[in-house]
């Protein structure tokens, strides 16, 4: 009995030893996540290099320099790159990168420019503490560009980069877009028509618990009003009427009364000039006016913006505004013109489905679920030019932080690896859908 017992114990010990030596397979997603952790310092270094190049929207040389910094990153991953000259639309240009694979076609969108001109006091990347870094464009959106590159590097490390076809469009004028919009957005629109899925790397509302599946569009409008010039003692008389300023006030008041309760719709008069002699420079949104207290005003110009969450909402708002403008006060006239601007990114079933894939991947990574951003908290973005062309679209997966567009722009570096892992897992899971 003792000998038999000893043999059993010895056998169990051998089995346990052998089992301990059997390696547990590491999943593709674990390989990618581990690779992101290993490359943290490299990602921060690339972010620092890009932030330290001033690329304010009108600094064409700086924008191209950022493109020249990032192009080799894509080429090293097997992409072909192309610089699209921005002269036809009055800007620096765009970087486009392509890599053919055997899976679904995915468009990745970023931008190279920032809101900080070359004379801005905020010019350099600076580590604030162990979690935060300060600098122009850290979150909006050079951090997103870095996340894009390092997610693709993680996919290569796991030997799954060939499972997808990728096109990257990094625009050079997202913050101050060129004109005409049809030319500056051509590369985006072409990419949207090509792609099955589109993903934007903006920072959304700065909260890593959210992503963007709807963005409000942004377009400008100009209201022009005329009245009959006469001595102020004759105001409201049938032959002279109410004057241009009263007519402009009526129109703006009716805009507010009839449209302000519409969910996710906003319209803001940003500048107004009125009197007997008016000059309005639409390009700079500035103007001058001269008038006299005892003269009925004969001209008013108003410039503003209009933001809607869907093309349908936008068109309905425009139509209502036109109707209000057309209901003139006596002896006045008025017209309204709308710019082309940024189109809305409407919420859709496909966008919600993409968010669901992203959120489940995030939960599997152990960093929690991701919810949709309130469209009121997400401004216009380049993804809106393509969102309605593919099956699914989502934005706001970039580097998170606070103070975007201000001298206090700070990135939360804790979200650098987190967002990169989320994106890598999302791209991999999309590759498995087909």
10-residue mean pLDDT series, the chain (434 residues): 44 44 73 98 98 98 98 98 98 98 96 97 96 97 98 98 98 94 95 97 95 93 97 97 98 97 95 95 87 97 95 96 97 95 92 98 97 87 90 96 96 98 98 86
Q: What is the DSSP string of 263-318?
A: TT-EEEEEEEEEESEEEEETTTTEEEEE--TTB---EEEEEEEEE-SSHHHHHHHH
User: Taking Cα atoms as reference points, which of 303, 220, 216 lies closest to residue 263?
Assistant: 216
Sole residue written with tokens 């129109």: 251
β-sheet with 219-226: strand ranges across: 266-275, 299-307, 219-226, 333-338
Segments in 52-177 forming alpha helices (H)? 60-75, 143-157
Beta bridge partners of 68: none
Tokens representing 322 are: 């036109």
Tokens representing 19 are: 């089992």
- Per-residue pLDDT at 23: 52
- Per-residue pLDDT at 24: 52
Q: How many residues are there in the chain?
A: 434
Q: Give the CA distances from residue 380 to residues 69, 306, 348, 349, 419, in Å, rounded to whole numbers and listed in that order.
A: 26, 11, 17, 20, 21
User: Taking Cα atoms as reference points, which of 229, 225, 251 lies closest to residue 240?
Assistant: 229
Sole residue written with tokens 């003139």: 328
CA distance 124 to 26: 40
- Per-residue pLDDT at 353: 97
Domains, the chain: 28-216+344-431 (3.40.630.10), 219-338 (3.30.70.360)
Tokens representing 93 are: 């240009």
CA distance 71 to 52: 17
Instruction: Tell me how many degrees the CA angle 358-364-368 measures, rounded to the nearest 5.
Output: 70
Phi-psi category of residue 194: left, alpha or beta, with phi > 0 → left and psi -120 to 50 → alpha:
alpha
Residue 260 near residue 244 (C-beta atoms within 8 A)? no
Q: Give the CA distances from residue 90 to residues 178, 303, 429, in Å, rounded to whole numbers and listed in that order.
A: 6, 22, 39
């Amino acid at each position: 009995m003792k000998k038999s017992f000893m043999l059993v114990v010895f056998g169990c010990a051998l089995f346990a030893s052998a089992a301990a030596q059997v390696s547990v397979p590491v999943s593709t997603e674990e390989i990618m996540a581990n690779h992101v952790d290993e490359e943290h310092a490299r990602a921060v270094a690339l972010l620092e290099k890009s932030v330290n190049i001033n690329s304010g929207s009108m600094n064409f040389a700086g924008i191209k320099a950022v493109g020249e910094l990032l192009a080799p990153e894509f080429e090293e991953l097997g992409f072909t790159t192309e610089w699209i000259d921005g002269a036809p639309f009055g800007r620096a240009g765009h970087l486009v990168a392509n890599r053919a694979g055997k899976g679904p076609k995915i468009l990745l969108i970023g931008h190279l420019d920032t809101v900080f001109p070359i004379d801005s006091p905020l010019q350099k990347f600076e580590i604030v503490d162990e979690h935060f870094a300060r600098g122009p464009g850290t979150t909006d959106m050079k951090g997103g560009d870095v996340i894009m590159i390092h997610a693709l590097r993680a996919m290569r490390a796991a030997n799954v980069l060939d499972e997808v076809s990728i096109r990257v469009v990094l625009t050079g004028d997202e913050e101050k877009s060129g004109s005409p919009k049809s030319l500056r957005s051509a590369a985006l629109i072409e990419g949207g028509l090509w792609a099955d899925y589109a993903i934007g790397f903006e920072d959304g509302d700065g909260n890593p618990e959210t992503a963007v599946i709807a963005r409000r569009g942004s377009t400008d409008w100009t209201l022009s009003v005329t009245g009959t010039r006469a001595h102020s003692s004759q105001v409201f008389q049938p032959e002279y009427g109410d004057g241009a300023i009263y007519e402009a006030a009526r129109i703006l008041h009716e805009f507010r009364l009839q449209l302000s309760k519409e969910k996710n719709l906003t319209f803001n008069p940003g500048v107004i000039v009125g009197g007997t002699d008016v000059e309005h420079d639409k390009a700079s949104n500035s103007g001058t006016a001269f008038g006299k207290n005892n003269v009925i005003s004969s001209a008013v110009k108003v410039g503003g913006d209009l933001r809607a969450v869907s093309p349908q909402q936008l068109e309905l708002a425009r139509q209502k505004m036109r109707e209000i403008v057309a209901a003139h006060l006596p002896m006045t006239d008025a017209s309204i013109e709308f710019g082309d601007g940024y189109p809305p990114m409407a919420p859709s079933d496909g966008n919600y489905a993409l968010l669901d894939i992203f959120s489940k991947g995030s939960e599997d990574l152990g960093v929690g679920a991701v919810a949709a951003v309130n469209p009121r908290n997400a401004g216009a973005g380049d993804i809106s030019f393509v969102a309605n062309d593919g099956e699914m679209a989502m934005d706001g997966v970039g580097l998170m932080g606070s103070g975007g567009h201000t001298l206090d722009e700070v990135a939360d570096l804790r979200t650098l690896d987190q967002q990169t892992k989320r994106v890598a897992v999302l791209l991999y899971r999309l590759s498995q859908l087909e």
